[in-house]
Amino acid sequence: MVDRNGWDADASVPAGPSHDPPASFVEQANVTEEAVYEAFETEWPDCWERAADLLSWEREYDTVLEADDAPFYEWFSGGKLNASYNCLDRHLEAGRKTHAAIRWEGKRGERETYTYQDLATAVNEFAAALLDLGVEEDDIVTLYLPMIPELPIAMLACARIGAPHSVVFAGLSADALATRMDAADSEFLVTCDGYYRRGDAFNQKSKADNALITLEQDVETVVVDRLGDDLPHVLSEREYDYEALVTDNRGETVEPVRRDAEDMLFLMYTSGTTGEPKGVVHTTGGYLAHVAWTSRAVLDVKPEDTYWCAADIGWITGHSYIVYGPLALGTTTIMYEGTPDYPDRDRLWEIVDRNAVDIFYTAPTAIRAFMKWGEEYPAKHDLSSLRLLGTVGEAISARPWNWYRDHIGGGETPIVDTWWQTETGAITVSTLPGVDEMKPGSAGPSLPGIDARVVDAEGDRVDPGETGYLIIARPWPGMARTLYDGDERYRSEYWSQFAEPENDRWWYFSGDAATVDEDGYITVMGRVDDVINVAGRRLSTMEIEGAITGVDGVVEAAVVGRSSEADGTAVCAYVSTEADCDPDGDLRGRIVESIESSIGPIAKPESVVFTPELPKTRSGKIMRRLLEDVANGNQLGDTSALRNPEIVGEIQTEVQTE
């Protein structure tokens, strides 16, 4: 039995019938041959040349896979390429200058279209500006921007000059930004004055300022003026106005730097099992090949499509499937700054309708919200342009899956449920929409060339329907190569649980529990480690606990995930306080404030339960699993190992009255 977080409340609902992809979809799909699975198997690892062939290489690679120093694999070694060249220049050379690259939809209804030529110009000018500021190859540039065009422009400008970017989600707090800049030793920051939140101006620069105060290194900061007169700001020393820098470099071009396939393209911090975020390192060749291949084979992207991944570029989904994948393939990618319900709950469908979007990719948490709001909102619009729908970030159970297909997909449109992670870089488990049948509630089989398995603690495959650990038994091109804070942490976080180095067995452990059926379809159940997945975003329970125990009056805290209809999983915090501390006072408010300031509003707890003590084993370990059961109203397991079993009843009563 695998202990897991974030049970899907609907998981027990029967999955219902499976569906074949409609013939009209198969006829036009990029990948339609079932033989692709077999071909990848027999040709592995050379099969991945098909992915590399989607890119333009300045120098051909020597080997597809170097596995001598496992788990530190190398993909396409010896190859040279530039990601910005692949996303821009080669499309210009192919005569597609006037083709739309990015269609941006702003929060206030603003619309901007960047053709491939416009985007290339903007990227070149900003790349020149970065060079002026002294950015050198391999310097890490932190980008702390909301969903405005300057974000992908800055990413591609960094890629052009070989400076890895580290994008920090704009909603994260000053502390979170500082931790990430400090860990990466980043001396360059691109941010903005602020952004609109439900129509109000929200100050982003003050968060950036607060972060920089705590850093030891000097930082050059570029500030995008997003709000104009709505939020005047002054620039001080080491601060530069984005527009002024670009104006100074009007018409400049910058030669794309030849990067090694294995050179870092970007760093992406994500939550791990400790309080310290992990700096996941992605490379130029393998990553780009894998995102391009999956954009083509799974998301069925074609150059003439209008494609929309409604994620935030601040997370991996946006990196891979708003920016690098679609632009590498030369398609039109929509970038939406706002929320799905502002100014009204049909906002997304209005955008799909107006832009005749072909492919739409979102998270189950959003689909559950659409369901709750009601079918009348999508019904107001013509969604018949949609050819394929996708989901990512958490499990989608059968009910929202069917609702998505019926009300957004007109009862016909195929859906891909894509399982992957910040560390996998690109999609690893999913159906191929032109080949496989879809089973609502199950992500699907391993993609061709990927060997994802569900195993027990010994590494043996579990029987169909049994829960086990989701591992990947072979390397893949988009895989993270290491953690920025060190190879050792990388090895121990992902390769220590199931790898058997003495037998040269290297298995990657995902941290997820899953089941598998007779056809090899994988259903992901949730995390088994101290990570919870709230509304498709990864949070570390230890990081949240750290923020709570920093509050005066708090003795201990335990954070668990609780099933929530809206968010899949919600944060539930159990807090024990000092004897003379009155939890009825403002303590709850101070706890929430501390979490928001050390992580950000996304980690805000749905409930804070005060208890005189936390339940502990005789050896003093907090019984988190028990607390999770209490939070979810589950039958409690064995409590005999507890030192203080009497506390459990008290906590249950407290939870019920919360």
- Does residue number 10 form part of the binding site for ligand PRX (CB under 6 A)? no
Indicate which single residue of 394, 529, 543, 629 sits in contact with ligand PRX (rule: CB under 6 A): 394
Per-residue contact string for residues 310-339; x = within reach of ligand PRX by CB under 6 A: -----xxx----------------------
3-state secondary structure of 251: coil
Nearer to ligand PRX by C-beta: 221 or 391?
391
CB of residue 336 vs ligand PRX: minimum separation in angstroms? 17
Q: 603 to 632, contacts with ligand PRX by CB under 6 A?
A: none
Angstrom distance (rounded) from CA 333 to CA 359: 10
First to last CA, the chain: 30
Contact stretch for ligand PRX (CB under 6 A) within 136-144, 253-261, 386-394, 641-649 = 386-394
Q: Determine the size of the site formed for ligand PRX (CB under 6 A).
A: 22
C-alpha distances (whole Å) from 370 to each of 312, 403, 602 are 18, 9, 20
CB of residue 532 vs ligand PRX: minimum separation in angstroms? 9
- Does residue number 142 form part of the binding site for ligand PRX (CB under 6 A)? no
Which candidate, 516, 533, 297, 564, places its Cα nearest to that of 418? 297
Contact stretch for ligand PRX (CB under 6 A) within 16-24, 413-421, 482-490, 547-555 = 413-421
Angstrom distance (rounded) from CA 120 to CA 397: 41
Helices vs strands, H then E, count in the chain: 22, 30
C-alpha distances (whole Å) from 275 to each of 176, 183, 282 are 11, 13, 22
CB of residue 6 vs ligand PRX: minimum separation in angstroms? 7
Indicate which single residue of 89, 187, 239, 417 sits in contact with ligand PRX (rule: CB under 6 A): 417
What contacts 330, CB < 8 A, 6 or more positions away? 91, 94, 96, 99, 116, 303
Per-residue contact string for residues 437-466; x = within reach of ligand PRX by CB under 6 A: ------x-----------------------
- Does residue number 281 form part of the binding site for ligand PRX (CB under 6 A)? no
Residue 211: both structure tokens together: 């972060």
Indicate which single residue of 169, 360, 401, 420 sits in contact with ligand PRX (rule: CB under 6 A): 420
What contacts 423, CB < 8 A, 6 or more positions away? 270, 280, 479, 480, 494, 508, 510
Nearer to ligand PRX by C-beta: 162 or 478?
478
- Does residue number 392 form part of the binding site for ligand PRX (CB under 6 A)? yes
Residue 177: both structure tokens together: 């930004």
Contact stretch for ligand PRX (CB under 6 A) within 197-205, 481-489, 492-500, 507-515 = 507-515
What contacts 268, CB < 8 A, 6 or more positions away? 166, 167, 279, 280, 282, 315, 316, 319, 422
CB of residue 480 vs ligand PRX: minimum separation in angstroms? 10
Contact stretch for ligand PRX (CB under 6 A) within 201-209, 352-360, 373-381, 393-401 = 393-401
Contact stretch for ligand PRX (CB under 6 A) within 103-111, 141-149, 420-428, 450-458 = 420-428
- Does residue number 511 form part of the binding site for ligand PRX (CB under 6 A)? yes
Sheet architecture: strand order including 468-472: 452-455, 468-472, 508-516, 522-527
Angstrom distance (rounded) from CA 609 to CA 638: 22
DSSP for 468-508, written as a single string: EEEEE-S--TTS--EETT-HHHHHHHHSSSS-BGGGTB--E
Q: 517 to 546, contacts with ligand PRX by CB under 6 A?
A: 524, 527, 533, 538
CB of residue 406 vs ligand PRX: minimum separation in angstroms? 20
CB of residue 561 vs ligand PRX: minimum separation in angstroms? 11
CB of residue 352 vs ligand PRX: minimum separation in angstroms? 21
Alpha helices in 64-149 (DSSP H): 83-84, 90-93, 116-132
For strands 141-143 and 188-192, give the pairing: parallel
Q: What are phi and psi of 557, to 5 degrees?
A: -145, 145
Nearer to ligand PRX by C-beta: 21 or 162?
21
Core vs surface per residue 598-607: b (16+ CB within 10 A) or e: bbbebbbbbe
Nearer to ligand PRX by C-beta: 335 or 443?
443
CA atoms within 13 A on the CB side of 574: 29
Task: Give the single-character DSSP code of 255.
Answer: P
Alpha helices in 133-257 (DSSP H): 150-161, 174-184, 205-213, 242-248
CB of residue 458 vs ligand PRX: minimum separation in angstroms? 22
- Does residue number 368 form part of the binding site for ligand PRX (CB under 6 A)? no
- Does residue number 270 form part of the binding site for ligand PRX (CB under 6 A)? yes
Indicate which single residue of 418, 428, 576, 611 sits in contact with ligand PRX (rule: CB under 6 A): 418
Indicate which single residue of 45, 286, 338, 393 sits in contact with ligand PRX (rule: CB under 6 A): 393
Indicate which single residue of 126, 377, 419, 574 sits in contact with ligand PRX (rule: CB under 6 A): 419
Angstrom distance (rounded) from CA 484 to CA 480: 10
Per-residue contact string for residues 81-100; x = within reach of ligand PRX by CB under 6 A: --------------------
Contact stretch for ligand PRX (CB under 6 A) within 183-191, 344-352, 476-484, 504-512 = 504-512
- For residue 592, the one-letter residue type is V
Which candidate, 283, 246, 244, 59, places its Cα nearest to that of 159? 283
Contact stretch for ligand PRX (CB under 6 A) within 286-294, 301-309, 391-399, 499-507 = 391-399
- Does residue number 421 form part of the binding site for ligand PRX (CB under 6 A)? yes
C-alpha distances (whole Å) from 5 to each of 429, 527, 541, 624, 652 are 20, 5, 11, 10, 19
CB of residue 127 vs ligand PRX: minimum separation in angstroms? 28
Assess contact for 657 and 649: CB atoms under 8 A: no
Contact stretch for ligand PRX (CB under 6 A) within 44-52, 244-252, 416-424, 481-489 = 416-424
- Does residue number 467 form part of the binding site for ligand PRX (CB under 6 A)? no
Angstrom distance (rounded) from CA 156 to CA 83: 8
What is the four-CA torsion angle of 507, 510, 512, 513, rounded to 10 degrees? -10
Nearer to ligand PRX by C-beta: 399 or 590?
399
Nearer to ligand PRX by C-beta: 211 or 525?
525
Angstrom distance (rounded) from CA 622 to CA 558: 8
Nearer to ligand PRX by C-beta: 29 or 309?
309
- For residue 131, the one-letter residue type is L
Contact stretch for ligand PRX (CB under 6 A) within 9-17, 202-210, 389-397, 498-506 = 389-397
CB of residue 4 vs ligand PRX: minimum separation in angstroms? 10
CB of residue 317 vs ligand PRX: minimum separation in angstroms? 5
Contacts to ligand PRX by CB under 6 A: 270, 315-317, 392-395, 417-422, 443, 510-512, 524, 527, 533, 538
